Amino acid sequence: MTEQGTFTRDMHYLPDRITADGRDGWPLEPGRYRLVIARACPWANRAAIVRRLLGLEDVLSMGMCGPTHDERSWTFDLDPGGRDPVLGIERLQQAFFARDPHYPRGVTVPAIVDVPSGKVVTNDFRQITLDLSLEWRAHHRAGAPELYPEPLRAEIDDVAEKVFRDVNNGVYRAGFAGSQAAYEHAYRDVFGRLDWLSQRLAGQRYLVGDTITEADIRLFTTLVRFDAVYHGHFKCNRQKLTEMPVLWAYARDLFQTPGFGDTIDFAQIKKHYYVVHRTLNPSGVVPLGPDLSGWLTPHGREDLGGRPFGDGTPPGPPPDNERVPSVG
């Protein structure tokens, strides 16, 4: 938090990468690593979606923390005995301390952990999904889509940076603002960018090109949380997502696409924000709404053309142990 009350995100993450050639000391080996997420977290949600779309379930296992945490760490309270069955730990913090006993920063998800050593390799959410697309290519399922196609990378990066600054992180700058001026500045950034996105998407089905890319995934995880959390809890209340016709149709289109909506657990999302953020919600009361049935209504975006998976195919159903409750 700055002196002016502006929320500033700590963007320093463990920079190591798991690569096909092992140049960072972490060679890509099927079954060696475990992706740790929390369903509640939008940054972790990105990694879960990309893993699903690319069909990496059999080569990269996934551990799931519960929706709440304390000042120390995310915890594995959803697992029997409160312990991750593969890593054998109760707190994600233990994997960070295995890497660095004096690790000084926040324990965040997503994180990829080296199972043999128990050490976290990286928690750089920005790079994790790109590496799943590029470095893990040899292990993609047949028919996996190109989420970061080389000819469109500059445009994807440009759009994704705007979305991150003003939307993904913008809602947090509004929600955690420590002054009226900081809040109003963030609020205007959020809705100014949402208006820009509405104009961009009015005539095209996806953000960049005619297929789903990394840019769409990064926007979706904020939009899907907007009415449930950000509209009220973070005071981003000019409009609800359901009151922005283009973005609401776009979000429903993605939600109904295999690999997107089947990673979303609205109950865990609401529990995380309303229970953990006691400075914003001292009572810890979790709202019952909003009505979720609209997510499954027709969106009409097919009329804009586009091919969701390009020359590829949709992913199959999620593994039984990774299914989330349906909104239907």
Of 96, 108, 124, residue with least CA distance to 24 = 124
Tell me, yes or no, if 236 is annotated catalytic.
no
For residues 116 and 319, what is the distance between their CA atoms, to the nearest angstrom? Answer: 24
Catalytic residue among 33, 41, 148, 274: 41
Residue 295 annotated as part of some ligand binding site: no
Kindly give the interhelix angle for 214-225 and 153-163, rounded to the nearest 10 degrees: 20
Catalytic residue among 33, 65, 148, 172: 172
- How far lies 195's CA from each of 130, 202, 219, 246, in Å? 27, 11, 13, 10
Contacts of 280 (CB under 8 A, 6+ apart): 175, 176, 233, 234
Q: Furthest-apart CA pair in the chain: how many Å?
A: 55
Q: What angle do CA 142, 26, 130 make, to 5 degrees?
A: 50
Tell me, yes or no, if 41 is annotated catalytic.
yes
35, amino acid identity? L
DSSP tag of 321: G
- Binding site per annotation, positions for glutathione: 74
The residues that are catalytic are 41, 172
